Amino acid sequence: MALSYIHLPLLLLLLPLSEGATVFTLHNNCKTKVWLGILSGAGSDTLNHGGLRLKPSDTVNVTAPEKWSGRFWGRHGCTFNRRTGQGHCVTGDCGGLMHCSGAGGTPPVSLAEFTLNSPVDYYDVSLVDGYNLPISVVPIGGSGSMCKPVTCVSDLNRSCPQDLQVKVNNKVVACKSACLAFNTPEYCCTGAYGTPDKCKPSEYSHVFKAACPSAYSYAYDDATSTFICDRANYLIRFC
């Protein structure tokens, strides 16, 4: 009896490190602050209340439970009321909340997406909803021939076609995908274009593919945009 009393706190301490848990190391390599957004998939635990602030060169570890799925994105140019946690971000805003707690980022937003332990980890960087910040995913450990870094460090707002640009004070702050900008079946891969053989890359998706070759540039981008690791942790880096 006395023994289990002593061991209980120790056990609780070790629990988050139990086998199956995945560590996400979040790093801000940008020159400005990044407010991270995290949206968990259906049935997955919300991590860190869905948001945290990373000052330049900050690194924070977040541990996801086994079989977690969800997405990470960066928000920039945010101001929040310290007391209420309400405010606004120039890009990636999640309903004006510091802690996104279930709300997604308003596109255009570059995403890092994960489905863990299913039975291996699937991940990708997606520009299907457009681009707002350079984002990379680097597996730490893990195995598999498709267990590779996905880097998207290009300053895509520089190469963004004029009709996809999002401007604030005359400065390009983000780049819409063609689907987001024009909302047609052809660009969104819906309706008659709802299959991989019908939905082809466009002059617009080529711009994204050229800037970030290993990221999804449109909904049915080729299979080389999905990566797979067995038992890895992940570094997610902004810029």
Ligand X SMILES: *[C@@H]1O[C@H](CO)[C@@H](O)[C@H](O)[C@H]1NC(C)=O
Q: What is the CA radius of gyration of the chain?
A: 19
CB atoms within 10 A of CB 152: 23
> Shortest Cβ distance from residue 22 to ligand X (Å)?
9
> Shortest Cβ distance from residue 18 to ligand X (Å)?
14
DSSP state of 106: P
Residue found by looking up tokens 């080729």 in the block: 222
Taking CB under 6 A as the criterion, the residue among 4, 61, 162, 169 binding ligand X is 61
Site string for ligand X, 80-99 (x = CB under 6 A): -----------x--------
Taking CB under 6 A as the criterion, the residue among 71, 75, 76, 209 binding ligand X is 76
Rounded CA separation 230/134 (Å): 25
- Is residue 173 near ligand X by the rule CB under 6 A? yes
* Contact criterion met (CB below 8 Å) for 239 and 28: yes
- Is residue 233 near ligand X by the rule CB under 6 A? yes
- Is residue 214 near ligand X by the rule CB under 6 A? no
Of the ranges 94-102, 168-176, 200-208, 218-226, which one interacts with ligand X (CB under 6 A)? 168-176
Rounded CA separation 47/201 (Å): 34
Instruction: Identify which of 125, 127, 130 has the alpha carbon closest to the alpha carbon of residue 166.
Output: 130
Contacts with ligand X by CB under 6 A lie at: 23, 25, 61, 76, 91, 132, 140, 155, 157-158, 171-173, 233
